[in-house]
Amino acid sequence: MNERNFSISYQSFKGLEELSENDKALCLKAEEALNTSYSPYSRFKVGAALQLKGGQVVLGSNQENVAYPSGLCAERVALFAIGSSDPNAVIESMAITAKTDNFVIEKPVTSCGACLQVMAEVEQKQKQEIEVLFYCINGEIIKVKGIKNLLPFVFTEVRLVV
């Protein structure tokens, strides 16, 4: 038996005022994306903003459905929109935030495993890591470079890629 360890690397910021202007603007775009959330069942709005190489920003928001598995997270809405409209686009960074009127969100909300898997495949496809900002409105922001810091045992099978 071998015991192995791994560590992750991330940065933590107390608020928007500590971020670069570009990161701050991307977080505010993610907050803007909350306006298009369709979340009548959970009342938990999630917004994502993806910044492409060249500066274009694409927004996504969670879209629920009464048949719960039929909904989609904000991250995947934005990632799939890019994949279908510009399959060769390179995503440099993304910001994710959440809001609900039911309680105060005190910590950054992180992506689910399905979203992390999609993000990891995008990185593999574009051969470039994505910088991810998890933005708690009026609170802490976590910044991570590369999805392997979030999903170290990512599922991949290079023989499936043509």
User: Which residue numbers are catalytic?
Assistant: 75
Contact by Cβ (8 Å): 58, 82 = yes
- How far, in Å, CA of 76 to CA of 141, rounded? 20
Q: Two tokens at 125?
A: 């496809």
The pair of structure tokens assigned to 18 is 């500590």
